């Protein structure tokens, strides 16, 4: 059973793109039918990567560790792939510092100066675990489903901590939602020649 949630930031994510533009999109989570239908109005290459099925991703500093190798394997995209839009949803609430840093390091070669991203964080580190599954119903409306079981590895980061962890992104805007979550809009913090 899904419900809807308005989004003030999602329209901004798409404001530089028009129907018919060719987009490359990274969507963290399963391919929900409404999300696929939404992106059908664009000429898109969609990459659905359900990292939530891989949780917990341990923050092992050793790049040779099994956890580090598994994350590198999951984030293997063709070398010329550059994402225009990244939909992280609430992924960073489930990655410890080491895993989040490793994720960003692996993702960075696939970003360009115009890459935009959307996600959710928490305003207060004591915020309860939400366990929602997100998709896009319309440009300013998300679909939200409650997951059947809690996800492991809940390790939320506040906005300041996230800004440090997501080093290749700048925070454009954040909105405090009624349940103490933050809706976040980010831009790749890369030089223009990185296109």
Query: What is the per-residue pLDDT across 101-157, written as a single tens digit (0 to 9) for each?
Result: 999 999 999 999 999 999 999 999 999 998 999 999 999 999 999 999 999 999 999
Task: Tell whether domain 2-194 is in CATH 3.40.50.150.
Answer: yes
pLDDT at 12: 94
Rounded Cα gap, residues 36 and 22, in angstroms: 15
User: Structure pTM?
Assistant: 0.93
Indicate left, alpha or beta for 84 from its phi (over 0: left) and psi (-120 to 50: alpha).
Answer: alpha
User: Cα separations (Å) of 25 from 18, 155, 168, 191?
Assistant: 14, 26, 17, 20
Domain ranges of the chain: 2-194
Strand residues in 7-162 grouped as ranges (E)? 22-28, 43-49, 83-89, 111-122, 132-138, 141-146
How sure is the predictor about 56, in pLDDT bands with cuts at 50, 70 and 90? confident
Element (H, E) at 175: strand 169-176
By C-alpha distance, which of 61, 101, 77, 71 is closest to 26? 77
Q: What is the mean pLDDT of residues 152-169?
A: 94
Beta bridge partners of 181: 122
Closest by CA to 129, choosing from 156, 100, 99, is 156
Alpha-carbon separation of residue 90 from 4, 17, 24, 190 (angstroms) = 16, 24, 20, 23
Q: What is the structure's pLDDT at 195?
A: 45
What pLDDT, on a 0 to 100 scale, did the predictor assign at position 194? 43
């Amino acid at each position: 059973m899904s419900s809807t949630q308005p989004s003030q930031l999602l329209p901004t994510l798409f404001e530089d793109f028009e129907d018919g533009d060719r987009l490359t999109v990274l969507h963290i989570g399963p391919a929900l039918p409404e999300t696929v239908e939404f992106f059908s109005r664009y000429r898109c290459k969609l990459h659905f990567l359900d990292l939530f099925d891989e949780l917990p991703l341990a923050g092992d500093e050793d790049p040779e560790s099994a956890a580090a190798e598994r994350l590198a394997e999951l984030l293997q995209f063709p070398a010329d792939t550059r994402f225009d839009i990244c939909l992280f949803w609430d992924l960073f609430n489930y990655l410890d510092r080491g895993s989040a840093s490793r994720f960003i390091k692996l993702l960075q070669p696939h970003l360009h100066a115009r890459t935009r991203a959307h996600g959710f964080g928490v305003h207060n580190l004591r915020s309860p675990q939400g366990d929602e599954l997100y998709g896009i119903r319309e440009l300013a409306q998300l679909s939200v489903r409650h997951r059947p079981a809690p996800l492991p590895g809940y390790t939320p980061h506040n906005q300041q901590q996230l800004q440090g962890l997501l080093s290749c992104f700048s925070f454009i805007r954040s909105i405090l939602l009624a349940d103490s979550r933050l809706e976040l809009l980010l831009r790749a913090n890369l030089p223009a020649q990185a296109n």
